[in-house]
Amino acid sequence: MPHWLSTPHWSSDIPLDTPHPRLDALKERGFVRLEDLADPIPESEYLALEYMDWKSGGDTNFAPIATADGELDCRGFWKPGDERPDKGGRFTSNAERCPCIKNYVEAVDADFGRVRVIKLEPQDYDTALSQIHRDDNNRFNPPDQGWVVRSWLELTDNPDSFMVLMEHGDDGLPRRDTEVHVPLHRGSQFVVDTQRLWHVVCHSGSAPRYALISSFESGPVLERWIESRLP
């Protein structure tokens, strides 16, 4: 069967093997599901945010909650002449409108970079697969510092929607035989090495789906946070 993507693909050359310290919890599969968040984040926290037009993995808008300089900007960490790794994030004006979300991120206690709420319009499975990609999370991250990974907290309730994850193949494209689905009901929480795994969301609902995505530095603090939330 021919692959549904072709090379060269912009994700294919993003580094995979580097000396950065990694999390044991992600070693085997590249992702880990945590127990569902007990108390849902109130709808008012994510509907009242300021969203920006920014496309990633489909028809998306993003509300930046932490950025490189605290400005409402989706790309701030890689400003020409002021390139920084995706760490040391500073809260934006949006953070004042979502105290529960801000508390959630701070309670992890690990170094965080960009923190954003994603708003994704519905897209079927085939459309999603055409948008699958790997992230460039560790650009400018010194190799002796922890590998940057991402956490998800699902804000809306879409039990029939799911994130598709696949390992990287020798041909530089996602490997279908490694495909897994992570369910996206409200409160679903998981940590993914989105630089290692190809990822995208299939969203079958009729209204947009919202999720909190945060970049965190791998290390003992994040490892302990994950361990304390395993199902």
Q: Which is nearer to Fe ion, 29 or 221 (CB)?
A: 29
d(CA 116, CA 113): 10
Other C-beta atoms closer than 10 Å to the C-beta of 180 total 14
d(CA 117, CA 124): 21
Q: Which is nearer to Fe ion, 135 or 193 (CB)?
A: 135
Q: Which is nearer to Fe ion, 45 or 135 (CB)?
A: 135
Other C-beta atoms closer than 10 Å to the C-beta of 43 total 11
CB of 224 to Fe ion, least distance (A): 25
Q: Which amino acid is at 147?
A: W
Q: Which is nearer to Fe ion, 49 or 164 (CB)?
A: 164
CB of 187 to Fe ion, least distance (A): 21
| Binding residues for Fe ion (CB under 5 A) | 135
CB of 163 to Fe ion, least distance (A): 10
Task: Tell me the CA distances in angstroms from 202 to 120, 136, 230, one per residue in order.
Answer: 10, 21, 25
**Joined tokens for residue 123:** 């897209």
